[in-house]
Structure 1
Amino acid sequence: MGLADYLAQNYLSADKSSKGKKRKRKNAEDAGLIIADDDVSGMSKSRNRDDDDEDTPMIIPGGANISKRTTTWKTFGKAAPSNNEQAAADAILADAAAETQARNAEDEDAPAVVGEDEDMDYSGPTMASGAMAGLQTAEQVTKALKRKERDEKRAMQEMGMDPTGKAQETIYRDASGRIINVAMKRAELRRQADEEERKKAEEAENRRGDVQKREKEARIKELEKAKTMSLSRYADDRQLNDEQKEQERWNDPALAFLSRGTTTKGSKGTKGRKKTYTGAFEPNRYGIKPGYRWDGVDRSIGFEKRWFEARNQQQNIKDLQYAWQMDE
């Protein structure tokens, strides 16, 4: 044992502090940045005093041995940071706040760019609508919804699907679950309809006689001639006059006694036609005309005449009864 140690042990005594020796806490690993407020009681304390710091080592003059006291207090949780750590944390937060303010100022002064927020990465829980969970502004929610819509459209385009859904074809199935090809069905139905129309046209053509076929061919030739015909036709047009003369009308009063020969075309004329009586005669129930050699004498018993009279009388009675009912 040296002389200095001997003198310090036997003759020197350390000054007792006004406060008891504080228990030193074990250093715990900091899992993150912890900001603790020392001003618990509401009264500010000076952080520059070294004697109030729990982790600051105590200086004992002379190196005298001081008895260590044990305590039964247990510490739970992580220790609060020291003044130096607190100051460093405050400095870091101040720098981050200054950088954020400077960045916001630059963003406000910079020109607006369309689609600038497309590639922004958001970390944290999101809802089914695409918006972030938690308190947000209306602008943030709108951007999140637009971002989700763009992502869905991009994914559908990568899969080869139409985002609008217009190009998607409806799948039809029968009772057994087999897929029905609508395009083939429509083509088959169209083919059947064309075939039916063709058959109907053939049947109508076959039912026609030779005269109708010749008339159809003549109309086609007339239409071909009409392509080169002038639009203005006057009263002295010979072709137009011949066509009008050859037409037979059912209400023509001179048609019964006119006897024309064969026309220039030979298609319409009285030659070769069956001869009929051209004078007046009493009507009959069947509309049968007398022979062309009839002399005009009625040799019947008069039944047809009385039949028409009785019929006309019955009709007159019905008309009178109806008129009397309306008068009442």
Structure 2
Amino acid sequence: MPDPKLQAYLAAHYLSGPKADAILARTSDSEIKVKRKKKRSKTDASEAASSSSGIVFKDDSESWMTTAPGEEDEDGLTPQVVGGAAGDVKKGFRKVGGSGSKQKEEGGSGEASSSTQPTAAAGGDEPTTEFRAGLRTKEEMKAARLAREERKKREAATSSSSSHPTPHTASDDNDDEAARLAQTTVYRDNSGRVIDIAAFEAEQAALERSRQLKEAERKTWSQGLVQKQQQQAARSQLQSVQSQGIARRATDEDYNSHFKQQERADDPALAFLAKKRITGPQKPKYKGPYPPNRFNIAPGYRWDGVDRGNGFEKLLIERKSALQRREQEARAWGQSDM
């Protein structure tokens, strides 16, 4: 069984709260004195000093313990309460704004102020509505919305009045031209010389055209004279076709001449035609005499007249000629008696 005196002593010196109070209430020892630590305020100390008689000596070193009435702690942060009743504010908190009843009164008068706002704004400029943090009532939000709408209407009216058309004069044209020239961007090269954009673009276009012409001419370098003539004939034909119609008739001269120039192997008039029609390109031929050969083939047009063979063709032709002459002589000798 624990000692009640020991428990009372421990509760008096080392414990606090309802448990210590219960232990001290059970004990009946009148010698044990309960020590309570009570925080004495600065006001109680000042009242006690004023009530006591005599001179009170204060040390300057104890001035840090006292705080001026209007002074606040610089290091600490003081919470702020927006709205709310004064009775709910605890120690260390500061109330900002009016109570709920005042807010209701202000909200009730919001409509009246919003109705009188346009008349006040007509006389002068409306002050900019400052944005308020925290909760706002329905009346305050409505008043702010009406103020914004009214401000937008006034801005639209001023912009429409400023954009009203005025009679156009020559001075306005000069002013517009001067403004356009003033707003024109000036381009310069590395040396600081002004570059004319129009002239520069024209020069670049001329260079591009010359480059295209050179490229087209370079493509024709691999073409011959005949190919160029064919291309020219095709272009002229296309130009002539542009002016012709789609329908073809029996009296069309171009159409008939085109078919007359065609040569066919089964054409019966091809054997007695006085002049053979030449169609298409023809190779050049050798002009001049040339030694005979067994196939009667003419030399090329580049032959210089020198026979570079082994002489077989020449001996063969001479042998054939000798045999043919002997045969003719024998026939003539046999018929001499007749």
Shorter-chain TM-score tier: under 0.3
- Say which structure, 1 or 2, has more relative contact order (CA 8 Å, 6+ apart): 1
Q: Which has the larger radius of gyration?
A: 2
Higher helix share: 2
TM-score between the two structures when normalised by the length of structure 2: 0.26
